[in-house]
A and B are shown apart, each in its own frame.
Chain A
């Protein structure tokens, strides 16, 4: 846990002062990733650097695990907090193994323990120890260097990790990959992470909570869902972007809105005219056709009208099936692509699990914005 109480940082003296951080208070709960988000100069990096005392507090109190950081010896404090910065932070004169070993050596671990830990960390970050241990940073790609950076931050198994735009210098494809890897790692390790970013996508993806900074003030501190659906003011809604409805959909999954008992289910063996009558009574324009508990496709009233055989003969197959964990953004994209307003959700054995319709998605988005205040304008930038 890290807590910030009335943290203020003022640079300069006398009349020539700049307030970099103004009375910021919030708490990072144990085991959560909190992303410090904002434009450059907003105070997010300063907050991080105050935490390991690379900058000195002007006023306020920062505590880690209920200990005031000013009461801890500065070198010990830093050794307790894992620190990861952009790829350029690796020492070029040291091998990968030596880079990872920096903090364990400072802590006087014995060589055998260090060596074991290096292998463990390299495996954890998907780098083959035999291949990479004795290489130099210059021989690695940007993505690989950053993996080593993460491994180095985790070396002494700190409870708290400070990350300063750790994936900022990597190309987008590798960044996605390394973000996913880090999330997987974090799910296992449950570190308390302070993560600086200027990228809203990264913040939504990585953060359990997001702290949005502007001009040295903490503007909003909430979960990504709430930041997206209930931005506190114009600055936040602008920063989040006009496409925040789509971003919300990126956070929601099929399981959040699935209709497990749709009314318009037809068995494949039913006769077409019976099915037509059934759909009429249910006031539904189309039906989902199921055989052996597996969805085989759909029929419309129009396609049934002049047919007489079993429904399975006129059924139109679905182009794709959804899974419960599919993000709604992908579902919407598929709906637009195939111009199909309903999709079926299946489980691992391809058994029918429910349906998702375009209307369901719209309703879900509306619901998530329900408490939004009227006065927030969403500007559509050209």
Chain B
């Protein structure tokens, strides 16, 4: 109850921090998506790089977020950007790569070879095939990757408060420092709530982005 009171009393600040949180995650996703999708497609055309790229993205994921912030600090400090939102966004972009690249790669690979053959045999260029067949069929799976990345990043962004990026993590960090349970709880609950909402929104997007013909196919094969 007292947590709810805390949120009500600081409603303007809550709104601001939530917005800041969404902003960091959103910008990171906007930057990460084209990079990841393009990389994912490129490695379907150049198989020899596929395992290397995927392993690289995998390794990035294993670095704890606080360590990653620390590692970037000296480099970004050269441009006077060691702290704040820039390193936070960069870290989120890096973390997003694995789910986005992996899903894009798998989805494009899973387009039946008979369809690709039919398209090639009819004289479609590689680019045309990609645009008219492979990407439409892969879109739902690619968006599922974005969904994973977004939800994960909401959690990571809460930690970015330690390098002064702001966001809802501020409540958690300051709550711990001040031993103020209502504040910690508010931060934790709001971050979770945000994650749930974003997850739901992305699920909706996934459904909308599925080509109608595929939706029909799924409905009929059920």
Contact = CB atoms under 8 A, between A and B. Distances in A.
Partners in one complex: yes
What size tier do the contact residues of chain A reach?
20 to 34
A79 interface: yes
A78 interface: yes
Contact of A83 (B122, B125, B212): B122
Contacts of A226: none
B30 to A, nearest CB: 26
A89 B137 CA distance: 14
Give the interface SS of chain B, mostly helix, strand, loop or mixed: helix
Contacts of A118: none
Interface in A88-110: 88-95, 102-103, 106
Interface string B96-133: 00000000000000001011011111111100100011
Q: Which of B112, B121, B220, B221 has the most CB of A within 10 A?
A: B121
B222 to A, nearest CB: 11
A89 B117 contact: yes
Most buried by B among A54, A77, A92, A136: A92
Interface in B194-214: 211-214
Most A CB contacts (10 A, CB to CB) among B112, B128, B214, B216 go to: B216
A75 B212 CA distance: 29
A77 B78 CA distance: 56
B155 interface: no
B121 A92 contact: no
Contacts of A90: 118
Query: What range describes how many residues of B lie at the interface?
Result: 20 to 34
Contact of A75 (B123, B132, B133, B217): B123
A86 to B, nearest CB: 7
Contacts of A86: 114
A152 B121 CA distance: 12
A52 B123 CA distance: 9
B26 interface: no
A107 to B, nearest CB: 9
Contacts of B122: 78-79, 83, 102-103, 106, 152
B164 interface: no
Contacts of A137: 213, 217
A19 to B, nearest CB: 23
Nearest to A136: B213
A5 interface: no
Contacts of A94: 132, 213
B131 to A, nearest CB: 11
Nearest to A162: B121
Contacts of B175: none
B166 to A, nearest CB: 42
Given A85-B118, A136-B216, A91 B132 contact: yes
A93 B133 CA distance: 7
Contact of B118 (A79, A83, A95, A138): A83
A78 B121 contact: yes
A139 interface: yes
B213 to A, nearest CB: 4
A139 B123 CA distance: 26
Contacts of B220: 138-139
Nearest to A164: B121
A138 B216 contact: yes
Given A103-B123, A106-B128, A95 B117 contact: no
Contacts of B214: 92-93
Contact of B117 (A75, A85, A139): A85
A87 to B, nearest CB: 10
Contacts of B121: 52, 54, 78, 83, 85, 162
Given A54-B117, A93-B136, A138-B220, A78 B213 contact: no
Given A78-B120, A79-B122, A138-B220, A95 B213 contact: yes
Contacts of B120: 54, 78
B114 A85 contact: yes
A68 interface: no
A90 B119 CA distance: 9
A76 interface: yes
B123 A79 contact: yes
B123 A93 contact: no
A137 B214 CA distance: 9
Given A86-B114, A88-B115, A93 B137 contact: yes
Nearest to A92: B213
Nearest to B137: A93
A382 B117 CA distance: 41
A137 B118 CA distance: 15
Contacts of A80: 123
A334 B136 CA distance: 56
Contacts of A152: 122
Interface in A64-79: 75-79
A78 B120 CA distance: 8
B110 to A, nearest CB: 13
Contact of A89 (B114, B136, B217): B114
18 contacts: A52-B121, A75-B125, A78-B120, A80-B123, A85-B114, A88-B112, A88-B115, A89-B114, A90-B118, A91-B115, A92-B137, A92-B214, A93-B214, A94-B132, A102-B119, A106-B124, A138-B213, A139-B220
Given A77-B123, A85-B121, A94-B132, 13 more contacts: A52-B121, A54-B120, A54-B121, A85-B118, A91-B119, A91-B133, A102-B119, A102-B124, A106-B122, A106-B123, A137-B213, A138-B216, A138-B220
Interface of B: 112, 114-115, 117-125, 128, 132-133, 136-137, 211-214, 216-217, 220-221
